[in-house]
Chain A
Amino acid sequence: MSQKLVERLQAEFGDRILETGSQHGDESVVVGREDLPAVVAHLKGREACELLLDVVGIDRSELPGHRDDPARFEVVYNLRSLARNHRLLVKVRAQEGQDVPSLAGLYSSADWAEREVYDLYGVRFRGHPDLRRILCHHEFEGHALRKDYPIERGQFLSAPEKLIRDHEIERAAHRAETAGDAILPSDLLTVNIGPSHPATHGALRAEVLLDGEIIVEARTEIGYLHRCFEKEAEDHTWAQVMPYTDRLNYVSAMLNNCIYCAAVEKLLDAEIPPRARVVRVIVSELSRIIDHLVCVCANLVDLGALTNYWFFYNVRESIYYDVIEPLCGSRLTTNFTRIGGLGYDVFEGFETAIERNLVKLETAIGEVTGLVARNRIFLDRTVGIGAMTVEQALDWGFTGPCLRATGLAYDVRKHAPYDGYETYDFDVPVGTAGDTRDRIMVRIEEMRQSARIIRQALARGLPGGPILIDDPRIALPPKEQVYGSIEGVMNHFKLIMEGGRVPAGEAYGFGEGGNGELGFHCVSDGSGRPYRIKVRPPCFPIFSAYGEMIRGLMIPDAVAILGSINIIAGELDR
């Protein structure tokens, strides 16, 4: 399908398509910088690529074969068509100081994604509406992900940045005046929300401009939890990156583990043992349940419905103490999978422990839905609040429950099945209005579907056999070999000290994370360490729309919406 897409593009644009490539099933084209808007507009208009998933910057100055290439930077646009189920990576190359035309006019999701590339690489985007730093603070000097920026060079910040400038206040007052509402700039009140605020769940900040109680302008800022996952990944071996993935979306760490492994296995063309596949599905779905439990219960607390917090949170605690901790020795940050399989086998009584907790989960779902589903206060606070249409959601790059709440049944597990998801029978719940209530209800129903998947997997019985691939390139040898043979010692030593070698190449591995499509764009130079890993965090595009979603509403609505879009700062800021 994608192959034909590339051919159609070549027929349309001829030699303006400079290169085409296909690696590990990912099709890509390279175009000139000036041709980029035309090619992408064609893809959007004629080839139904509604989603711009991500914009990836790559500094090629240390990539073998490109050291003398004057085009130091590569910018990769990851496009996805849901209607025709195809994907394409569009690449442009830029030299130091050259700018790239911005796609912010075509896709709203390009806005923040391009700001990130500018912040971390210094590639400028011509025509971008607001090209400022996004993850690093505004006093930061240099561009952190360039290969010549030392990882340990920290820079102190003196004071936070003001987000809404004076001229914007005047502009908002002017807009209100032309709408027939005579107000002075001094009538508008600027309120700062976060990052230390009970509703911001971590480290998000918004500055809103209020006319009475109505938000007339909103600016959001992120980067308060920027922990440099991507720079750290370049500084560690492929296997050492695993604990860092736990701390991306720390509410559903196992999903990150599994999807990161899947991305590296894609580069390696490795097939994991059947037992590992099934256990990965089970722990992924458990993780999804935990993610939704925490999201929904925190959202309901923000709405004042504290009882539901206890109902849901106790189930989560129970899953942690009964299943996750016995499985991998820790609660939150699991580090459970390994490239090529799993770190540990399941414990005795795994199946019964899960079944016991699924029963608790169903009871809790019954109790919570009983309390909120027809609750007048809940409905008043959530129905029609923060509603998004399908078109808006796609434009902003939504995936996952937030997209499904608008009515579009896009789920990576159905559209591009992995780990055998095609063999399980489950439904993809959708909403109708795309509002806060739909987002909450979609999540609640998804928990039921996840429980269904887990039960099917357990009913089939776990396949026997190993849990780790038998491949000395990447998998650690068994301890008997390490202590009993010189080859085992050598293999172990090399894997630990230098890292398992991953063949040179590029791959985008992805799966359905707790909050949408979670992807890892991996570039390997053939060594034991990643050359570049770019995470595609589902939260990032969703939160970029937050300012738009809350405009015209009140601050309590903004709190309700923020809880329902489930922003996890670790994943948002990486």
Chain B
Amino acid sequence: MAVTLDSPSNFLTTRLRQAVNWGRQYSLWPLPFGTACCAIEFMSTVSSYNDISRFGAEAVRFSPRQSDLLIVAGTISYKQAPILKTIYAQMCEPKWVIAMGVCASSGGFYNNYSTLQGIDHIIPVDFYVAGCPPTPENLLGALVQLQEKVRQEGLVPAGRRHATGNGA
């Protein structure tokens, strides 16, 4: 964006894509799909010591209709899987997904009859955060990287964004 301060007019020139993505980037509304230990670390991330609002993502919503960033924090079992899939489907485009922790990313050290071996079996994922559980700093790091990704995205029609399989 180019702003000329000494300009007599109140115009600024930019590209539509940049302006829209600038807005999206710094106003992500996370939906914590917290099931396990990682949800506790998510609580730490939003609390005042780490303070996720420094990155513009503090408007935590528990309704998929109101949020655009799904943070899957915790183990997803086969019993939970259909619910996660529904929640993801209920979110409006554009939407992004962070798999927080190894359980959500790959099942972690729970390789057994009840644990889904990574949420990417059922929904697309933008970022995988390592750790069991990841520290709040890890999650904030992922958020910053996701913002960069959001900034660079084109105005792709809804639904086609994930078709290219651009997981990080």
Q: Please list the residues of chain A having a beta carbon within 8 angstroms of any beta carbon in chain B.
A: 135-137, 144, 149-160, 195-198, 201-203, 223-228, 231-232, 235, 243-244, 246-247, 250-251, 294, 298, 309-310, 313-314, 317-318, 320, 331-333, 569-570
B79 in the interface (beta carbon within 8 A): yes
Is B147 among interface residues, defined by CB-CB distance under 8 A?
A: no
Q: Is the CB of A313 within 8 A of B47?
A: yes
Question: Contact check: which of B39, B82, B113, B114 meets A202 at CB < 8 Å?
Answer: B39
Q: B113 contacts which chain A residues (CB < 8 A)?
A: 136, 144, 149-155, 228, 231
Q: Is the CB of A227 within 8 A of B112?
A: yes
Contacts of A196 in B (CB 8 A): 33, 62, 83-84, 87
Provide the bound-state CA to CA distance between A71 and B115, in Å: 31
Instruction: Let me know if B47 and A314 touch, CB within 8 A.
Output: yes
Closest 3 pairs between A and B when the two form their complex, measured CB to CB: A250-B37, A137-B79, A198-B62
| A227 and B115 in contact, given A250-B40, A332-B37 (Cβ under 8 angstroms) | yes
Determine whether B43 belongs to the interface, using a CB cutoff of 8 Å to chain A: yes
Cβ A228 vs Cβ B40 within 8 A: no
B interface residue numbers (CB < 8 A to A): 33-37, 39-41, 43-44, 47-50, 62, 74-75, 77-84, 87, 109-117, 132-133, 135
B87, closest chain A residue (CB): A196
Report if A223-B49 is in contact (Cβ < 8 Å); known contacts: A144-B113, A313-B43, A333-B133.
no
Given the complex of chains A and B, what is the CA–CA distance between A203 and B132 in angstroms?
Answer: 18
Indicate if the CB atoms of A159 and B82 lie closer than 8 Å: yes
Tell whether A151 pairs with B79 under 8 Å between CB atoms, given A202-B34, A202-B39. Answer: no
Contacts known (A155-B113, A203-B80); A225 close to B43, Cβ less than 8 A? no
Candidates A201, A228, A332; contact of B115 at CB < 8 Å? A228
Selected A-B contacts with CB under 8 Å, 12 pairs: A202-B39, A224-B83, A225-B35, A225-B75, A225-B77, A227-B75, A228-B113, A228-B114, A231-B113, A235-B112, A243-B109, A313-B48
CB contacts (< 8 Å) of B133 on chain A: these are 331-333
Bound-state Cα–Cα, A251 to B135, Å: 14
Chain A residues closer than 8 Å to B80, beta-carbon distance: 195, 203, 224-225
Across the interface, which residues of A come within 8 angstroms of B114, CB to CB?
A: 135-136, 144, 154, 226-228
Complex Cα distance A243/B40, Å? 17
CB contacts (< 8 Å) of B87 on chain A: these are 196
Q: What 18 additional pairs, Cβ within 8 angstroms, besides A152-B112, A203-B80, A310-B47? A: A136-B79, A137-B78, A150-B113, A158-B82, A159-B82, A160-B82, A203-B36, A227-B77, A227-B110, A231-B112, A232-B112, A247-B36, A250-B37, A250-B40, A314-B48, A318-B49, A332-B133, A333-B37
Q: Which residues of B contact A251 (CB under 8 A)?
A: 40
| Minimum Cβ distance to chain A for residue B116 (Å) | 7
Q: Quick check: A202 and B74 within 8 Å, CB to CB?
A: yes
**Contact residues in A for B49 (Cβ distance below 8 Å):** 313-314, 317-318
Q: Which residues of A contact B115 (CB under 8 A)?
A: 154, 227-228
Q: Are A317 and B44 in contact (CB under 8 A)?
A: yes
Instruction: Give Cα distance in the complex from A226 to B113, angstroms.
Output: 10
In the complex, what's the smallest C-beta–C-beta distance from B103 to chain A, in angstroms?
8
How many angstroms between the C-alpha atoms of A129 and B103 in the bound complex?
A: 36
Contact between A151 and B112, CB atoms less than 8 A apart? yes
- With beta carbons under 8 angstroms apart, the residue of A149, A223, A232, A332 that contacts B79 is A223
A75 vs B87: C-alpha distance when bound (angstroms): 40
Contacts of B116 in A (CB 8 A): 154
Asked whether B37 lies within 8 Å of A247 as measured between CB atoms, the reply is: yes
Given contacts A196-B33, A224-B77, contact A160 B112 (CB under 8 A): no
**Which residues on the B side are within 8 Å of A154 (C-beta)?**
78, 112-117
Shortest A73–chain B CB gap in Å is 19
Task: Kindly list chain B residues whose C-beta atoms are within 8 Å of the C-beta of A156.
Answer: 78, 81
Question: Which residue of A144, A246, A250, A309 has the most chain B CB atoms within 10 A of its CB atom?
Answer: A250
Which residue of chain B lies nearest to A301 when distances are taken between CB atoms in the complex? B43
User: Which residues of chain B have C-beta atoms less than 8 A from A332's C-beta?
Assistant: 37, 40-41, 133
Q: Establish whether residues B78 and A155, one from each chain, have CB atoms under 8 Å apart when the complex forms.
A: yes
User: Which residue of A150, A195, A244, A246 is within 8 Å of B83 (Cβ)?
Assistant: A195
The CA-CA distance from A545 to B77 in the complex, in Å, is 24
Docked pose: A332 CA to B36 CA in angstroms: 11
Bound together, the chains give a CA A340 to CA B135 distance in angstroms of: 29
Determine the chain B residues whose CB is within 8 A of the CB of A198 once the complex forms.
Answer: 62
Residue of A196, A246, A251 contacting most chain B CB atoms (<10 Å): A196
Inter-subunit contact A203/B110 (CB<8 Å): no
Question: Which A residues are in CB contact (< 8 Å) with B79?
Answer: 136-137, 157, 160, 223-224, 226
Contacts of A569 in B (CB 8 A): 35-36
Q: Are B78 and A225 in contact (CB under 8 A)?
A: no
B132 to chain A, nearest CB (A): 6
CA–CA, A488 and B113, complex, Å? 37
Tell whether, in the assembled complex, residue B37 and residue A570 are in contact, meaning their CB atoms are under 8 Å apart.
Answer: yes
